[in-house]
Structure 1
């Protein structure tokens, strides 16, 4: 456990350039959580599918321009479309399910449950003795998030929890297929393609379900703001942070998302969560940090040759 605490301290003791990167990272996560709070207010007026569709439509334009993705058009015929389509499907479903959960759960709880997707994927990928601790913390986090005695009084929806966990599963698939798509060496253009495809796939369903809301221009400004806060600003800040941060530091900081979501929900939506649920979010965050550090340590060990390992043991 002392090694674990020492690793966390080392991850945050950084020069000024990395301190700037930490600020970028925190601002990125805050922008995304503010967008989620704003989206939740809009969901109360519209519906999750319409909000997601409008957001992705505007986000696709922003991302396309940001990354100058017209340069990838001539290479479209050479891409492996199976992985790209599965990646795009994960993006679409992840957003729809997450926004559906926001309509039924406090924001911090929705993000905490969604976070279980990538956390589970990370737990599967590492095999160390400390893994059992992170598994126990993650299980405890889920158990404590659910107000088993009186869900209605605690503003907890089991359907909303299912949506959030489903979004987490899609998030895990997003990571998995994102890594496969990364081997195609098209950089951030993969995200441009995925968001464009997601928007185009969801648009017909949204028009069939609630065409009046989709085509009502009074909501477009709100959707544009959500897209800006959830897409353009976070991705720009993340790119700036990644230039200065290691993957370990980036992954560790990302683990703070559920806490920032709870904070945004409290400040912007006046959403209150119980003490036990705060402990639950802390368990999930600690499990995520532990898995991030454990995964980084395992990769470092794999880079050491057998001979080097035997010399170190001597």
Structure 2
């Protein structure tokens, strides 16, 4: 059980690392394509990748017998989370967008607390995120209240994604659940983008980067998330998600040469302590899994 739990934590960390790297690539692509086109290309390429990876045509015969309410809500949360987060990235600095989005899983973690001692880890995560997010940029010209609303909406969708993701994994259809969610999301977004920005979708010179973003932002992290959700509680997943802003800062430091302030270093310590605390607490408490 201990190895299983630590493996789930590793899956989450790898998922968040891939997602933060992809977010940086996506933000670069926004210089030539609008966010709606980027997320549509990402979902379309991801749908192809995931169906091929998991040979999801095998699930076709079982489709009439699946619990579609949970699947549709899971799929809808995946689609809206992508659209809203990319819309926020187009209007906000990445650190603020990630920090505001994280309020969704953090709220879910707070609602899932059953022991008073767990408040310590969630409080540390809150302090860490508050110190990590570059709030001083909120007074700069590149801050947008609409972008903040998009990020908060993405956070709500993230919480729904966690909740229904745990229900979906209990249907025992493995990674085919992810295939269904991504294919449905792509089918919804493709006609919308085709109406609003048809010429942007056909700019094939950007398809290579969109394919890379699809791999890093969808195929890899969502598959790892589903494996993690089999083994983690909503409290554990929500608190461990506080690593996202921290990983974004670390990725920015190494990949973009962005400096990390003293307060952000303190934030990293708080977030790491929260993640370690909730991980080992869950290992010792079977009911937390």
Shorter-chain TM-score above 0.5: yes
Length-normalised TM-score, structure 2 = 0.80
Deviating more after overlay: 254-263 vs 57-66: 254-263
2:194–2:201 contact (8 Å) kept in structure 1: yes
2:201 to 204, 214, 229: 214
1:113–1:142 contact (8 Å) kept in structure 2: no
Query: How far did 1:122 drift?
Result: 1.9
1:51 to 21, 34, 38: 38
Say whether 1:198 aligns with 2:166.
no
Q: Which residue of 2 aligns with 1:225?
A: 212
Q: Which residue of 1 aligns with 2:165?
A: 178
Task: Tell me, in whole angstroms, the C-alpha distance in 1 between the residues paired with 2:141 and 2:256.
Answer: 15
Say whether 1:163 aligns with 2:163.
no
1:62-101, CA deviations, whole angstroms, 9 ceiling, x for partnerless residues? 1111111000001111122222111111001111111122
Larger Rg: 1
2:140 to 144, 153, 169: 153
How many pairs does the alignment contain?
Answer: 288
Task: Tell me, in whole angstroms, the C-alpha distance in 1 between the residues paired with 2:117 and 2:137.
Answer: 34
1:29-80, CA deviations, whole angstroms, 9 ceiling, x for partnerless residues? 4332221110110022211111111001000111111111000001111122
Say whether 1:125 aligns with 2:125.
no
- Please give the residue correspondences for 1:7-18 in structure 2 after superposition, counting only pairs within 5 Å: none
1:109–1:262 contact (8 Å) kept in structure 2: no
Query: How far did 1:140 drift?
Result: 3.8
2:85–2:97 contact (8 Å) kept in structure 1: yes
Task: Tell me, in whole angstroms, the C-alpha distance in 1 between the residues paired with 2:14 and 2:268.
Answer: 20
1:59–1:231 contact (8 Å) kept in structure 2: yes
Task: Tell me, in whole angstroms, the C-alpha distance in 2 between the residues paired with 1:62 and 1:275.
Answer: 41
TM-aligned CA distance change 1:211 to 1:203, over 3 Å: same
1:76 to 63, 67, 91: 63
Q: Which residue of 1 aligns with 2:247?
A: 260
Query: How far did 1:105 drift?
Result: 2.9
2:75–2:184 contact (8 Å) kept in structure 1: yes
Deviating more after overlay: 134-143 vs 232-241: 232-241
Query: How far did 1:279 drift?
Result: 4.4
Deviating more after overlay: 291-300 vs 74-83: 291-300
Query: How far did 1:130 drift?
Result: 2.1
- Please give the residue correspondences for 1:229-244 in structure 2 after superposition, counting only pairs within 5 Å: 229-234=216-221
Query: How far did 1:272 drift?
Result: 5.0
Query: How far did 1:20 drift?
Result: 9.7
> After TM superposition, what 4+ stretches of structure 1 lie above 6 angstroms from structure 2?
15-25, 146-150, 236-243, 247-253
Deviating more after overlay: 192-201 vs 290-299: 290-299
Length-normalised TM-score, structure 1 = 0.74
Task: Tell me, in whole angstroms, the C-alpha distance in 2 between the residues paired with 1:145 and 1:161.
Answer: 16
The Cα RMSD (Å) is 4.0
